[in-house]
Amino acid sequence: MENANRFELRLTGSGGQGLILGSIILAEAAMMEGKTVTQSQVYGAEARGGTTKAELIVSDRHIAYPKVTDPDLLAAMTSDGLQQYGGGISRKTEVIIDSSVMCAPDFLNEENCHGLLALPIRSTAVSRLQSELGLNIVLLGVIVGLTGLVGVDTLRKAVGMHIRKQYLDMNMKALDLGMELVAAQAETGIRI
């Protein structure tokens, strides 16, 4: 449905990466800013390692159909995730892929998406945080840096609601790293 104040987001990757949690944190941040949201997910029977999809709709008004049908943003953290849930994108969809685990796929081009942003998300988490665990929060930093979907301070508050105290510093750093990735990319102007 056409609505300028509606934002549809789809995250896909591998079970265990925390993408569902990431979408919940973003949902809470949007709620704090007075928006309404629906957050949903698809996953397999595996405890971890299966392909997952997390979806979030943020809107100023009531959301009837709760699933993403016309994504404004698709972020793929694994190549399997992109293969399985990369369908349904359109000229308005901004696509983010993790360049540290995959190459830009052939089927994405100027004709079928708004833009493709390849950022080294996993390798940044591993090299700068010494942990893969911050990957989802780095991605949230990327998303907010790119779209301004929610305020950074609000997002920090929402992260704090879901992350244990002893890991909070690491996750705040992860947010910064994500936003830095976007800023650095904007500076160089290099897009794939």
Partner 1 sequence: MSEATVLMQGNEAVAEGAIAAGVRFYAGYPITPSSEIAEIMARRMPQVGGTFIQMEDEIASVTAIIGASMAGKKVLTATSGPGFSLMQEGLGYACMVEAPIVILDSMRYGPSTGMPTKVSQMDLMQTRWGTHGDHWIIVLSPSSVQESYHLAIRAVNLAEKYRNPVILLSDETVSHLREPIDTALPEPIIDRRLPAQKTGYQPFKTDATLVPTIANLGTGFRTTYTGLVHGESGFQTANGHVAETLVQRMRDKLFNNLDDIIRLETDHSDDADILFMSFGITARGVTEAVETLRSRGRKAGSLRFITLFPFDDDRVRQAAGPAKTIVVPELNSGQLVLLLKRVFGDTRRIVPLNKVNGDLISPAEMLTFVREENL
Would you call 162 exposed, middle or buried from its count of C-beta atoms within 10 A (0-12, 13-18, 19+)?
middle
* Site membership for partner 1, residue 34 (CB under 8 A): yes
Least distance (Å) from partner 1 to the CB of residue 45? 6
Q: Which of 94, 96, 90 is nearest to 2 (CA)?
A: 90
Q: Which of 95, 98, 120, 119 is nearest to 109 (CA)?
A: 95
Give the residue with the Cβ less far from partner 1, 48 or 191: 48
Site size with partner 1, rule: CB under 8 A: 22
Tokens of 161: 């609601």
Tokens of 150: 């929610």
Query: Which positions ≥6 away from 94 have C-beta within 8 Å?
Result: 72, 73, 74, 113, 114, 115, 117, 146, 147
* Site membership for partner 1, residue 41 (CB under 8 A): yes
* Site membership for partner 1, residue 83 (CB under 8 A): no
* Site membership for partner 1, residue 79 (CB under 8 A): no
* Site membership for partner 1, residue 21 (CB under 8 A): no
* Site membership for partner 1, residue 28 (CB under 8 A): yes
Q: Mark the segment that binds partner 1 (CB under 8 A) among 37-45, 79-87, 124-132, 136-144.
A: 37-45
* Site membership for partner 1, residue 24 (CB under 8 A): yes
Q: Mark the segment that binds partner 1 (CB under 8 A) among 39-47, 120-128, 137-145, 182-190.
A: 39-47
| Alpha carbon of residue 149 to chain centroid | 11
Using CB under 8 A, list all residues that contact partner 1. 1, 24, 27-28, 31, 34, 36-45, 63-67, 69
